[in-house]
Chains A and B, each alone.
Chain A
Amino acid sequence: MKQFLSFVKKEFHHIARDRRTLFILLGMPIMQIIIFGFALTNEVKNSKIGLLDNAHDVASAAIRTQLDASRYFDVVRDLHSYKEIEAAFKKGDIKLAVVIPQQFNTDLQHFNTAQIQLIADASDPNVATTLTNYATAVIMDYQDRVTHGRKLPYTIKTELQMLYNPQLKGAYSYVPGVMAMVLMLVCTMMTAITIVKEKETGTMEIMLVSPIRPMKIVTAKAVPYLLLSMINIASILLLSVFVLDVPINGSLLLLIGESILFIITSLTLGLLISSSTASQQTAMFISMVGLFLPTVMLSGFMFPIENMPLPLRVIAHAVPSKWYYDIVRSVMIKGLGFSAIWKETLVLTGMTLFLLTLAIKKFKIRLA
């Protein structure tokens, strides 16, 4: 035990004396949360739209007011012809154009049907879809008021409800994503690098010719990073609750427990990488390409897994961070309990045990 503690102490010395790395390790999650939270947002807020009003009647005026009043839109341009619409799109002045035909109100009153055209800039398809949905909702809202809630004959009304994230905030998906990313990076990459560093400098050689058991070396190396990761989780959660207004709906204890499980998975992965590489560069490269990128691309945090072709979907299911991402989303955002995530937890535990067995088997008690 004394051996072990002395080893852990030594690891803390290494980390504390490499100020720059420590700063990056602790600062990275904060930076990521801030960047994702404020810069890289794909939310739709105050989007600039144009209105081509050919009717100029009561109904069109009401719709205009209602669009402008919604916090999603700002009517910035009054357009007078289709040509102007195209020009405005090309200049990038507007993201959406609403076209109201002549005699809009008359049609509505007398024929019980009228049309409104929505033209969106689909160079960013996601934004275009979101904008048209919002605009449709605003117009439907107006229609409801006109009919005074009376049921129209033969109409099917869809009622949308955005569960768990009614405001469709991007933060709800990237906070879990950043957590998976940061843990993967800190635990896997740093463990791999620190073990390989001992190989590179030759200290592993001395360590092997000593009574200390290899598993003790490895565990002692993992402890400081476990602690660092806990600090990172704490800073991410604090930032998301107090700065980004993303609540922790489920049990905090469960969230931390699951995070520890994922940290162990990542540490084991780092150990596995370290036993099959001989230089710090290689270890870093494998961690980046082999683990960090799949975490970003295939965990479902950037791109929905359901839309991927089958081979990619299969790979995505083998990425541990995908399961952790699902767990965090369920617990933190949906507020679900353990009964809802036991399957994911089981998969993650299974992966960890498998990786751990592999890592122990591959750990070299000799040089070659």
Chain B
Amino acid sequence: MPAVVAENIVKRYGKKKDIVEALHGISFQAEQGELFGIIGPDGAGKTSLFRILTTLLLPDGGHATVDGLDVVKDFKQIRNRVGYMPGKFSLYQDLTVAENMEFFATIFNTSIDENYDLVKDIYSQIEPFKDRRAGKLSGGMKQKLALSCALIHRPSILFLDEPTTGVDSVSRKEFWEMLRKLKQQGITILVSTPYMDEASLCDRVALVQSGKLLSVDTPAGVRAAFGKPLLAVRAEKMLPLLNDLKGSGAVADAYPFGEYHHAVMRGNHDITELRQYLEQKGHQQVEIKAVEPDIEDCFMDLMKN
């Protein structure tokens, strides 16, 4: 039995005249013990989807099950067994770290001792500050506390809504390391993120854009499906370079990508030819190399088609 099944989920907001459809029929499955990523930019509908799966919102169409339980009918049972960490830090800022932990443990009819082994790795990092009020913690520590609180009842499925948004890159790396360890304990994890580079850390990803699913696959599968030659191009003047790339008949699409511009090429291409074309346009120190597509490249590609 898959851990999470979503079938044609539709969600609309607003009344009568200005209805906004946030989700237009989303379908996917996450298997037991999987680290499943929902990747998409802000406003893609990730939070709406998470809230439907955690029984906080009712879908306007479609069905979904979590642990085989219907998110509408069996919401009470679902609430007993999932862990949920909302996008915004949502613990009590005026309670201390220890008080927050104890409170959430009792709410879930358990105690810190009972499941200490599960949260040990994470909680031990913030335990030295356990008498500090949660509001006074740093961003990374808040996030660890929130994760500890979401885990304290040993949920079978963990829903993490943008856990790494607004967190520094070191803490982000640590956080994914923690998720990997949790996965080894057999917990299914659904995590949403707007950061494409985090996609490769998931077992499988669903790419979402404007309430639509673009693709559901393993990160490698998503990259393999790109199927077009990709070049990274750099020159002295980057802005005119982008325009000239877009103007070339051999280039299907071009967009900035870190220090380079990425150029998606049409069929058979020749790097030398492209270099000549660019130098003709007056570009100096032109550097061109073939690259493997990243998830972000795939996302851009899927978004445009």
Contact = CB atoms under 8 A, between A and B. Distances in A.
Contact of A209 (B58, B84, B103, B109): B84
Contact of A202 (B88, B102, B103): B88
B164 interface: no
B79 A13 contact: no
Interface residues of B, number: 31
Contacts of A13: 94-95, 99
Interface stretch (B37-45, B48-56, B245-253): B48-56
Contacts of A7: 103, 107
Contacts of B86: 202, 205-206
A7 B57 CA distance: 25
Interface string A195-232: 00000011101111111100000000000000000000
A26 to B, nearest CB: 19
Given A211-B80, A211-B108, A367-B56, A10 B103 contact: yes
Contacts of B82: 209
B109 A366 contact: no
Contacts, number: 76
Contacts of B57: 366-368
B56 A209 contact: yes
Contacts of B150: 206
Contacts of A203: 90-92
A368 to B, nearest CB: 6
B82 to A, nearest CB: 6
Contact of B79 (A201, A202, A211): A211
Contact of B95 (A10, A208, A212): A10
A201 B90 CA distance: 6
A210 B90 contact: no
Contacts of B56: 205, 208-209, 366-367
Most buried by B among A14, A208, A210: A210
Interface string B69-106: 00000011001101010101111111100010011101
Contacts of A368: 57
Contacts of A6: 102-103, 106-107
A124 to B, nearest CB: 49
A3 interface: yes
Nearest to A6: B106
Nearest to B146: A206
A2 B95 CA distance: 18
Interface of A: 2-3, 6-7, 10, 13-14, 17-18, 201-203, 205-212, 365-368
Given A3-B106, A209-B54, 13 more contacts: A3-B107, A6-B103, A10-B95, A10-B103, A201-B88, A202-B86, A202-B88, A203-B92, A206-B104, A208-B56, A209-B55, A209-B84, A211-B109
25 contacts: A2-B109, A3-B106, A6-B102, A6-B107, A7-B103, A13-B94, A14-B95, A201-B88, A201-B90, A202-B88, A203-B90, A205-B56, A206-B84, A206-B86, A206-B90, A207-B107, A208-B56, A209-B54, A209-B55, A209-B84, A210-B104, A211-B108, A366-B55, A366-B56, A367-B57
